[in-house]
């Protein structure tokens, strides 16, 4: 019999993706891509390779809201995007948007991050 894929045994991973502006979120929702700082590439690619699914929860800094969430659709490769070239962001990767809606942080007050001193997720 076939042994299960190693990815099937690893839990789903979640990451909060902070954006400096709403325009980046709009570009991502229109084109189905995202670009992040090069320092995040290794962590996200490792999660994508080892986990069954990776969800990205987006928030614009200072907005007091989540702007929606997406599933990571590919590993981060070597392709750049003109949309983010001047921002110092790294390579792009595919994202599949699941929900595109502003959700105030107060609706997630019950969620605490055990890897961040049990602080609220926002």
- Cα separation, 116 vs 110, in Å, equals 15
User: Which pLDDT score, from 0 to 100, does residue 9 have?
Assistant: 56
Domain membership of residue 1 (yes or no) is: no
pLDDT, tens only, 1-39: 444 444 455 689 999 899 888 988 999 999 999 988 888
Domain membership of residue 112 (yes or no) is: yes
Domain membership of residue 70 (yes or no) is: yes
pLDDT, tens only, 34-85: 988 888 899 999 999 999 999 999 999 888 888 999 999 999 888 777 776 5
CA-based radius of gyration for the chain: 15
Percent over 90 (pLDDT), the chain: 38
Q: What mean pLDDT is predicted for residues 98-105?
A: 86
Domain membership of residue 89 (yes or no) is: yes
The CATH number of the domain holding residue 27 is 3.10.590.10
pTM of full prediction above 0.95:
no
90 vs 47, more confident: 47
Domain membership of residue 28 (yes or no) is: yes
Domain membership of residue 64 (yes or no) is: yes
User: Which pLDDT score, from 0 to 100, does residue 82 have?
Assistant: 75
| Number of domains observed in the structure of the chain | 1
Domain membership of residue 7 (yes or no) is: no
Structural domain containing residue 38: 12-120
Domain membership of residue 46 (yes or no) is: yes
Please determine, for residue 98, whether its predicted confidence score (pLDDT) is greater than 90. Answer: yes
User: Which pLDDT score, from 0 to 100, does residue 90 have?
Assistant: 72
């Amino acid at each position: 019999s076939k042994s299960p894929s190693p990815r099937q045994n690893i839990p789903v991973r979640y990451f909060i993706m902070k954006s400096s502006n709403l325009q980046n979120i709009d570009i991502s929702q229109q084109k189905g891509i995202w670009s992040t700082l090069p320092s995040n590439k290794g962590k996200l690619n490792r999660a994508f390779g080892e986990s069954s699914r990776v969800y990205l929860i987006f928030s614009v800094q200072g907005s007091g809201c989540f702007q929606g969430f997406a599933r990571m659709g590919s590993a981060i490769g070597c392709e750049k995007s003109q949309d983010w070239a001047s921002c110092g962001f790294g390579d792009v990767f595919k994202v599949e948007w699941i929900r595109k809606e502003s959700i105030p942080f107060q609706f997630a007050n019950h969620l605490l991050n055990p890897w961040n001193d049990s602080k609220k997720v926002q």
